[in-house]
Structure 1
Amino acid sequence: MDLKGKKVLITGGSAGIGKALLRELISHGVNDFAIIGRSQDKLDKLKKDFENINFILVQGDVSQLSDIERLVKEVDKQWGNLDLLINNAGVISTGSLQTISDVDIINQININLTGLILLTKKALPLLLKSEEAGLMNISSGLGYIAKPFYSVYAATKAGVKHFSEAMRRELVFENIHVMTVYPTATDTDMMITSKIENMDTAELVARKSIEGLLNKDIDVILGGKQRKKDIETNINRPLEMDKIAKERYESYRDKTEFHRAM
């Protein structure tokens, strides 16, 4: 895939992994970006940080259908087509299921999964106009291996995994490459309230993601050989992962006690 001249839409593209993806794509010759984010200040900063880039900036929330439709309408009005959709926006609220608020449960599902699905649906007519399109969904390592105290977040990210697989097979006769990215813990604002150390950088995730896109990979799994080994164990010998979770239970509880980025 030649990225020069591509028109790219990124959700949550004004910070964290989304902004790192923007930088990485710029280094590959992309000049046209549509970005949706909840913070107008962060969106305005993009124009200052990237003065020579053409932006469609929409302040909005992907959990709101009206905002999704407004975004797609603006992209259609200004571009008429779309080459790459990156569903990156996400939130997290951890803890035992009994302690996560009902509002946080609903919002995690709506932002991480429902909004992702609806935006993909609404943007598909524009992607189908592209001669060479891509759909990149950002899941999580927790979408493969669920851990205690991440029940809702892990469920949404597993949903992203299966949605991507279904869309890849549904679009098998279309010129749209569908891929999924599975980051480990990444050093972004989303992780400030966690107690996790030795995290990946957003730049690493972005670089690996775009490398995967250019290679037409369907999955980009961060975390090295050990993560892939753990995934294999989780699929084929899940009780072994249950045992590990039991041994690390107190550590998981400690690290997730105050982890919330909504």
Structure 2
Amino acid sequence: MSGAGERQPPPAVPSLRTAVLLVLAALGAAAALLLVSTWTGDPSPGSPTSSPTPATTPPGRAAGAVTCSAPPPTPATVPHLASAPAPAIAAGARWRATLTTTCGVIRLELDGAAAPATVASFVTLARSGYWSDSVCHRLTTRQAATGFLQCGDPTGRSLGDPGYGLPLENAPPGGHYVRGMVGMARGDDVRGTAGEFLMVHRDFTVTAGAPVYSVFGRVVEGQEIIDHIAAQGGEDTRPDAPPFTSISVLTVSVVRD
């Protein structure tokens, strides 16, 4: 034990190496704290900083983008032709058709090389005003074997007839129809209707032995309108019926590409 007057030894001074290690440790702790406070990685589910993946809408299916106005009265008279238009009218060319409807504009591309008789008929009927104010009277939905919106009957009762029939043209292999195709309706007769056309809203394959349809074009704009009508379903929830949401063709214009 030291006496009262004995000098105390000076405090120990850390070595240079120890001092350097202490400084590095302090800097490391500060960097870790900064990293935690600014981290923007994937937080736990439900964290307020998480960024949810934005919902995507399939092409042509924009929710809430389609509104429809009231349909016009059924036309009092319907044009009739003495005979089928000459296939040469199609000129083996591509045509653009614009359907102005009560639910918006639908644009089609018509293939006059693959289906000359059908395209010639469509062009002629469009120019004659055959489809003015005509209701789309049939929708086949999920429970049906097919999936299309059928238009082109001015009477609204599938009784319209421009005065001639059409041969089968450009039927797809295996009877497989793809969303966006445009074809001609037909029943059990070999020759299809010349007035009623269909626009496919979902892929389907015709059952064995059932009629197949001529394909003469495709939808290039306005598929969301067809999808909207299909999503509402058929009248009285029937899979093959007038669409629950009415849609009418007001005018059809055509121009050669």
Q: TM-score range by the shorter chain?
A: under 0.3
Larger helix proportion, structure 1 or 2?
1
Which structure: larger Rg?
2
Which structure carries more relative contact order (alpha carbon 8 Å, separation 6+)? Answer: 2
Larger strand proportion, structure 1 or 2?
2
TM-score by length of 2: 0.24
TM-score by length of 1: 0.24
